[in-house]
A and B are shown apart, each in its own frame.
Chain A
Amino acid sequence: NAGVMQNPRHLVRRRGQEARLRCSPMKGHSHVYWYRQLPEEGLKFMVYLQKENIIDESGMPKERFSAEFPKEGPSILRIQQVVRGDSAAYFCASSPGQGRVDSPLHFGNGTRLTVT
């Protein structure tokens, strides 16, 4: 009964290093969303992907951030040259895909990134 799996749960990086966050969607789900959560700011959309395709990346900063969802393996959110402002909780959610728009999202427990 595996839900959405995110790892690592906690990630500490020094300024300038790279952070890689992984997300395996729920079984049978083909679409993945990444959101960022900061205190007092709620949940901010970053990127929406299906396998081998980015559907919408309008919420993702143009520089340093990238995301992929390969044919095999988990979705990866990559942050290059991290800065302190990148410290946040990053949540992945999955859904069955388009055509099932009324299906709720299933969230992982998040990766808490701390940049020192």
Chain B
Amino acid sequence: AQSVAQPEDQVNVAEGNPLTVKCTYSVSGNPYLFWYVQYPNRGLQFLLKYITGDNLVKGSYGFEAEFNKSQTSFHLKKPSALVSDSALYFCASLRSGGSYIPTFGRGTSLIVHP
């Protein structure tokens, strides 16, 4: 079985401050992990992924995520938030060698205040 949890429904941060959106996973075996962003009335857009290799993954729009196997986490981070980063963020997982169907978290609404 595989699942991801996003423990925060909403994250508020001031523009210019660092942001973190949390994700923990439960996947047997080696996980493939993804972050997506959804803007209002749009579909999800891919931000970054962890497959193997370096634990720190860099993605689009200045976002990065750190894979932590001991804590089974894959938190999304950005050093300096922009108002335009305000959106809904989804973490997703796949089990290597398993189903090709990604499982998504419930989403975290990021609000960046001017």
Contacts and interface: CB of A to CB of B under 8 A. Distances in A.
Interface of A: 4, 6, 31, 33, 35, 40-43, 45, 48, 55-56, 91, 93, 95, 98, 101-102, 104-110
A109 B45 CA distance: 10
A31 B101 CA distance: 11
Given A42-B90, A45-B101, A107 B45 contact: yes
Interface in B7-37: 32, 34, 36
Contacts, number: 58
Question: Which of B43, B45, B96, B100 has the most chain A CB within a 10 Å cutoff?
Answer: B43
Given A41-B106, A42-B90, A43-B90, A33 B46 contact: no
A95 B99 CA distance: 14
Contacts of A48: 100-101
Contacts of B106: 40-42
B107 A108 contact: no
Contacts of B32: 101-102
A45 B34 CA distance: 16
A26 to B, nearest CB: 12
Nearest to B48: A104
A43 B101 contact: no
Interface in B43-71: 43-46, 49, 51
A107 B49 contact: no
Given A56-B101, A107-B43, A109-B42, A102 B51 contact: yes
